[in-house]
Structure formats: C-alpha cells, structure tokens
Amino acid sequence: MATVIQLPIQTYESIVEPDWCPGCGDFGVLRGLELAAGKLGIAPKDMVVVSGIGCSSNLPGFFHSYGVHSLHGRAVAVASGIKLANHELKVVITGGDGDGYGIGLGHFIHAMRRNLDLTYIVMNNQIYGLTTGQASPTTMKQVRTKSTPEGNFELPINPIALGLVSGATFVSRGFSGDNKHLADLFADAIAHKGFSLVDVFSPCVTYNKINTYDYFRKRVYKLDGDSGHDSGKMESAMQKAFEWDDKIPIGVFYRDEQPTYEDHEKAFRDGPLVKQALGLGAETFDALVDELM
C-alpha cells in the first residue's frame, strides 16, 4: 500500500472567507473536510468539490481545490459527469437538505443505485437557510416555519433509510458539534470505494430554533465502539436508521464493498476518458466544433 503523506489544513484554505452566520454548523463541516483531506493527503489538484445552491452549497468557494458551484438540486448530476470524465479525481459533493433531498432527490437516488465512487456530504439543518427559513424535506412534523405557520404536517424524509434502500455502500451520519468524529467520518467516506453518504446535523442558528446544538448534544450517541451495532448488517443498520426522539445515532450505519459503476464501464479500461485519444482526426474534430458551437 502507498504511504500517505498527510497535509496540513492550511493546504485547503481558500482566499475567500466564509460568510455564514457566526455559529452556523457549516463551519464545522468545512473544518472537518479540511482535516479529512489532510489526513488522506489529497492534493487540491486531485480533488473537486461540487455543490448546488444554498448557504451550505457555498462551501466549495471556501475550500481550496477544484470546485463547481452548480444549480439548485443539480450537484449530484454535475459531480457524476466529472467523475465519468476523470474517475481518478476525488469528487466530493457538498450541499443542503433542500438541495439534495428536495429538488435534487432523483439524481441522489440514481447515483446511489449506480454505486458511483462519490462522497456526498449533506449539511442537514432541517430548513431552507438561504431563502430565510422555509420548511425543507427534513423539517420535523409540527415545526413552525415561514412556510408552515401552523406547524409542518408533512412526514420528513429519512435520509439514512433512503440511502440504505437505494444502494449506497457507505451510509453514515455526523454532527457539526463533534469535529474530530466528523473529520474521521469524512475521511472514511472519501476513502470508501463506492457511493458514500454523510448526512450531517449542521444547525442553522438563525432560522431553526428547534434543532439546535443543544438539541443534538442531548441526544446523539456514537454507533462505533460498544453500541452493539454491526455496520456490515443491513437489518441492524435499518433498525438504527429509525432511532430518533431521545436517542439519535451518529457514525457509520452501513458499509459494504461492491463493484462501482466505474469498475463495470468498459470505456474506462484504457484509463480516464480525459486522458484517452478522441478517436477523431483533427479535421473531423474542427468540423464538429464548427457545427455544434
């Protein structure tokens, strides 16, 4: 196995300062990602961070690597394209619960069942932060928001259960209030070969006064260690996925080694597409560009 040369977190410091509200959970996610990338020794040139739209989706601007700030709900689609063009890159998707579990839900499910080698970090604050406090797909029942003044009566999405039934081969949850645990989780998720989901409780201190740091500090416990959970067993993972209320698990729910989409794709046997010859003469290529542009 190749020796990993760890890198300092300064490697990933952007020239752009985060403009999140003071105390926003997304700061913890950014630091966790810096620590994880440093632990794995990933050079910024070998990494792409892709997002959609939302407060959380601003993250690629605050992290020094390649990055794309795409369209609302389209981060997974853009990341899939990047991965297929050059599967040697580490591709990490960062975004919010509205972005990924609402408008982007279709892309999310299909990427999981394809087992593309992508890492998806969802900053789940159970609210639309950027648009100033409407209910999101993970807002709990009865919670009052700008768009649910009488209390939310929709059933929230359960991202962990959804990840499990959709074929993700690494399904996990973290909490912004526990940086060290979060960084280790991100490192494991990025190192995992296949689709990794990390749903992160990342409190919105401005618009969600229910799911606060205190709310989670009182409830979260770690699956790793002596919880008795076996992350190799789907049944156990599914049971843990439905624990909520007084005790909420964080850590790795499920992990499985399966061939990835890239492993199956014949076109990749000669290396990443970007490094392969086009198979067209220069004249044909120029003619195509003229026709299509």
Ligand X SMILES: Cc1ncc(C[n+]2csc(CCOP(=O)(O)OP(=O)(O)O)c2C)c(N)n1
Site residues for ligand X per CB under 6 A: 53-56, 72, 95-99, 123, 125, 127-131, 136, 204
Q: Which of 32, 57, 65, 97 binds Mg ion (CB under 5 A)?
A: 97
Residues 175-204 contacting ligand SF4, CB under 6 A: 204
Min CB(171)–ligand X separation in Å:
20
Min CB(111)–Mg ion separation in Å:
19
DSSP E strands, 79-169: 90-96, 119-124
Q: Is 125 in the site for ligand SF4 (CB under 6 A)?
A: yes
CB-based contact 48:93 (threshold 8 Å): no
38 contact choice in ligand SF4, Mg ion, ligand X, none (CB below 5 to 8 Å, kind-dependent): none
21 contact choice in ligand X, Mg ion, ligand SF4, none (CB below 5 to 8 Å, kind-dependent): ligand SF4
Q: Tokens for 23, please give them.
A: 């105390």
C-beta neighbour count of 235 within 10 angstroms: 8
Q: Which of 7, 9, 21, 40 binds ligand SF4 (CB under 6 A)?
A: 21
Could you give the C-alpha distances from 268 to 34, 129, 139, 274, 275, in angstroms and in order? 30, 40, 41, 10, 10
Q: Which of 147, 206, 212, 236 binds ligand SF4 (CB under 6 A)?
A: 206
Pick the closer one to Mg ion by CB: 201 or 261. Answer: 201
Q: How far apart are CA 173 and CA 242, in angstroms?
A: 13
Min CB(130)–ligand SF4 separation in Å:
6
99 contact choice in ligand X, ligand SF4, Mg ion, none (CB below 5 to 8 Å, kind-dependent): ligand X
Residue closest to Mg ion, measured at CB: 96
Q: How far apart are CA 169 and CA 274, in angstroms?
A: 27
Q: How far apart are CA 203 and CA 94, in angstroms?
A: 15
Q: How far apart are CA 25 and CA 28, in angstroms?
A: 6
Q: Tokens for 188, please give them.
A: 């494991």
CB-based contact 225:46 (threshold 8 Å): no
Closest CA to 176 of 17, 288, 4, 20: 20
72 contact choice in ligand X, Mg ion, ligand SF4, none (CB below 5 to 8 Å, kind-dependent): ligand X
Start-to-end C-alpha separation, the chain? 45
Q: Tokens for 159, please give them.
A: 């991202």
Q: Which of 32, 52, 60, 96 binds Mg ion (CB under 5 A)?
A: 96
Min CB(266)–ligand X separation in Å:
35
Among the listed ranges 70-78, 95-103, 183-191, 275-283, the one in contact with Mg ion (CB under 5 A) is 95-103
250 — phi, psi (to 5°)?
-125, 160
Pick the closer one to ligand X by CB: 31 or 193. Answer: 31
Closest CA to 51 of 84, 89, 80, 93: 93
Pick the closer one to Mg ion by CB: 196 or 208. Answer: 208
Q: Which of 30, 33, 35, 55 binds ligand SF4 (CB under 6 A)?
A: 55
Q: What are the residues binding ligand SF4 (CB under 6 A)?
A: 20-21, 24, 26, 55, 125, 129, 204-207
